[in-house]
Amino acid sequence: MPKLIPKEIIKQIKLLRQKGYSLPEIKKVVNVGHGSVFRYIQGVEILPEYRKIWHSKRGGSFKRMKLAEKKAEEKADEYIVRLSEKEKLIFLSALYWGEGSKGDFGLTNSDPDLIKVFVLGLKEVFKIRTDRLRISIRIYRDLDKDKCLKFWSKITEVPVSKFVSVNVLDGKKNGKLLYGMCRVRVTKGADVLKYIRALKNRVVGLF
């Protein structure tokens, strides 16, 4: 059961928000959890006399975020210059371990970068031809079907005419990615699947 917040604390949270206090600043003052503060500041407008200060804080947060992202990218560039075939193989095994289906050699996801890396890895590492890829798409009814199909065709390099199925679901996407989900299945991939599972088991044994 959620902890009850005294009315005077709730009032203080809203007043601080009106004065342009950020969520972390409010937490420090009232000693209340992140979720509770977030709930009570929803819809609370910053008073006109404090908006300039509020915007300056937001600008500072944005700059700090961008600086942190740049440092992270520089650090990643130091560690990863290129991937060897062995590293790609291990990465593919990890992808399949986390996102792959258990019954056959297939993987489903809504992240286009993940699907693209998986498809390219299959072609480069396992020499699997495009004509062995079976693509199935799942989208919501409010999405642009043609746009989604063209998008996944570009990502997988498989013509829309070769897609196995397109499943249109009732309802709306409700914050999901704009292009639905893509399933990539490999025909006659039993041997490769056994190899990937063996790699996974080997990695488990080394930790």
Distance CA 120, CA 125 (A): 8
What's the token pair of residue 101?
Answer: 């289906």
Q: For residue 29, report the phi and psi dihedrals to the nearest 5 degrees.
A: -75, -45
**What's residue 59's pLDDT?**
64
**What's residue 36's pLDDT?**
86
**What's residue 1's pLDDT?**
46
**What's residue 34's pLDDT?**
84
- Percent of the chain scored above 90 by pLDDT? 41
Give which of 33, 174, 197 is closest to 105, Cα–Cα.
197
**What's residue 61's pLDDT?**
64
Total-model pTM: 0.66
Q: How many CB atoms lie within 10 A of CB 26?
A: 24
**What's residue 182's pLDDT?**
96
The 10 Å CB-count burial string (b at 16+, else e) for 82-94 is eeeeeebbbebbe
Distance CA 193, CA 107 (A): 11
Q: Which amino acid is at 136?
A: S
**What's residue 174's pLDDT?**
57
Residue extents of the structural domains in the chain: 7-79, 85-206
**What's residue 57's pLDDT?**
72
The stretches in the chain having pLDDT less than 70 are 1-3, 58-62, 172-177
The 10 Å CB-count burial string (b at 16+, else e) for 161-183 is eebeebeeeeeebeeeeebbbbb
**What's residue 159's pLDDT?**
96
Distance CA 22, CA 188 (A): 56
**What's residue 171's pLDDT?**
72
Among positive and negative, which fits the CA dihedral 76, 81, 82, 83? negative
Distance CA 21, CA 10 (A): 14
**What's residue 123's pLDDT?**
94
